[in-house]
Amino acid sequence: MNDYSLLSRDVSAAAARIERWIHRTPVVTSNYFDRISRSHCYFKCENLQKVGAFKFRGACNAVFSIPDSEIQNGVIAHSSGNHAQALALAAQFRGVRAFIVMPDNAPKVKQAAARDYGATITFCASNLAARETTQAEIIENTGAIEIHPYDNLHIICGQGTSARELLAERPDLDCLIAPVGGGGLLAGTALAAFAHSKHIKVFGAEPINADDAARSLAAGKIIPSVNPNTIADGLLTSLGHYNFSIIQDLVEGILTVGEEAITEVMKMFWQRTKLIIEPSAATAVAALLNYPDHFANKKVGVIISGGNVDLEQLPWQ
């Protein structure tokens, strides 16, 4: 895949399609983070998006892209949490059912939120094979349409609308940072940057304990995520094929950070900005702070991917 001009236009089309359903989230600055990063930081607060995460953008774009004649049996996905909530709410707005396959160790707060948005949840073991097998059985029984959490071009383009909004507000950015799990947000961010300026450098941020994206980029092929062990539960999955192709061509690099750094930055962000962010979002901020040679004296946009945390299981407790 290399027609990025066409895909970039799809990001613009997604922005128009979902505008009435999403929040245009604020961009927040912080003198404290400017000082300790020695850069000029602009945080795009998708933790304040509907369902508390950027995922609503992609889910909304995907659900509203399906013709009426094809969506009557509902939609389905497997998800550890944020995509589940996002798809459930998008389906609710579209007036169709949402079936969610969720690992049995998914955070309780995300389980409860998906139910609140009307999802029918089926639990399975916490591995990809179990997710896919369970999902296939439900599709056979219901006829629901799969909306993959990240390896789907409508999802990718929908996620890219966050960076598109950020660049409309701050057109002079030098760099963008987005966390990477399956790669939907990072690929979409890269497409939005490509459409805006070929001079913007886009970086992914990833836990070192779940560094399959960094290893995949170095190897030139997808290396699956095997037994990741990180508090950033939204970044556990392997890269999707569509995502990897875009990331290979348009992303400058993947920056890895340790668990302690993620925890400390999460706490620091809560304290300094008074905004709740989840570990996956803190991973991107940790990359900003841990790689000063990349960002010092530059204008850096950071996608704060989400704010869904289980207050009974905070990483510093």
> Could you give the residue numbers annotated as active site?
55, 80
Query: What is the distance between the alpha carbons of residues 141 and 61, in angstroms, rounded to a whole number?
Result: 25
Q: How far apart are CA 284 and CA 7, in angstroms?
A: 24
Token digits of residue 265: 């930055």
Sheet order of strands, 120-124 included: 120-124, 98-103, 75-78, 145-146
